[in-house]
Amino acid sequence: MNTPGMKPTQPSSLVRADDRLSFLYLEHCTIGKSSSALTATDENGVIHIPSATLSVLMLGPGTRVTHQAMCVIADSGMSVIWVGEQGVRYYAHGRPIGRNTRLLEAQAKIVSNTRLRLQAARTMYEMRFEGEDTSTLTMQQLRGREGARVRKIYREMSEKHSVKWSKRDYEVGNLMASDPINIALTAAHTSLYGLVHATIVALGCSPGLGVVHTGHDRSLVYDIADLYKAEVTIPIAFEAVVAMQDLEFTIDELPTYTRRACRNAFKQSRISNRIVADLKTIFLPDEAAAAEDESWFEDSVIHLWDNLHDRVVGGTNFEFDS
């Protein structure tokens, strides 16, 4: 008896990850199927999307997806992520494009081993410290240096833009219960969290298994976002407060202005590509070839765990060994 539904494509016939386009963002349209391709339809017409060559489809506000379109998406090995405008918020995701759990297993191994976790934390802090040697620092020393660095950045931004700065002060769930700079910082950081979260799940990593942060379902999101705040979101927040004064828009419009500035900066700097590279550097530090060879990433071969040999090939009828 034949299995109902469309016949799935074999992984070997799919376009390799390193030969695909990275992300496609769509909003205010209906996504459907035409032959074996996806279509995006709005009041301006229809465009055809080469689904076999796309890694991640990001669905923004106002998007609708037909059942047939989802079948094509699933068969092509594409990830789907539901996001806010231009990816500045993360809502949910479908199956990640990564079929191989190598990166996820490396993440779990590092988080579960004190020595490896400290080494990964040093790597992450060194990314922020602009080449400073962190190889002998304890977690306490790393946190101290990071605290001093962040205070210096806020002080420099305050002086540069003539924006009054006291401290980071915000109320969870009440964005507007603060001063303008803290409102802008919260909006900017939230935008960054969304893009980082989307990239993490697209790679098949666990957002909850953090290195520095722990105990939260977005611990890794906060870890990775911290790599870019000083360079991206903190300057954007201070510039947004200045723009509010110069362009004379209200404080109620400040979060929206900030999110749009983040959206443009993320797109121009291709920060999602950096997130992918940095995750590999943190979790696979001894495998430089992984940055160039993506074949392991989409390998869908299933192995069996073995306590003596780590893993053995699956799909084999093993004989009982007495």
Fold of 102-283: Four Helix Bundle (Hemerythrin (Met), subunit A) (1.20.120)
Binding site for Mn(2+): residue ranges? 146, 213, 226
pLDDT for the residue 321: 60
For the chain, the average pLDDT equals 83
Residue ranges at the known binding site: 146, 213, 226
For 194-234, write each residue's pLDDT tens digit: 889 888 887 889 999 999 999 998 999 999 999 999 999 99
Given a cut of 60, whether residue 80 has pLDDT beyond it is yes
> Over the stretch 113-124, which tens digit does the pLDDT of each residue have?
999 999 999 999
Distance of CA 107 to the CA centre of its chain: 15
275-295 tens-digit pLDDT: 989 999 999 987 644 445 555
Is-contact 316 139, C-beta < 8 A?
Answer: no
Of residues 317 and 170, which shows the higher confidence score?
A: 170
Which DSSP helix (H) or strand (E) runs through 38?
strand 37-42
**Identical topology for domains 11-83 and 102-283:** no
Other beta carbons within 10 angstroms of residue 256's beta carbon come to: 13
Residue 1, pLDDT score: 37
Give percent of the chain above pLDDT 90.
Answer: 47
Per-residue pLDDT, 5: 46
- pLDDT tens-digit series, residues 239-258: 999 999 889 889 999 999 99
One of 3.40.50.150, 3.100.10.20, 2.40.50.140, 3.90.1170.50 is the CATH number of 11-83, namely 3.100.10.20
Where are the alpha helices (H) located in 217-290, listed in sequence order?
219-225, 234-247, 254-269, 271-283
Tokens at 22, concatenated: 């990275």
User: Residue 173 has what pLDDT?
Assistant: 76
Structural domain spans, the chain: 11-83, 102-283
- What one-character DSSP code corresponds to residue 92? E
Lowest mean per-residue pLDDT among 40-49, 181-190, 288-297: 288-297
Q: At what angle do helices 271-283 and 114-128 cross, to 10 degrees?
A: 150
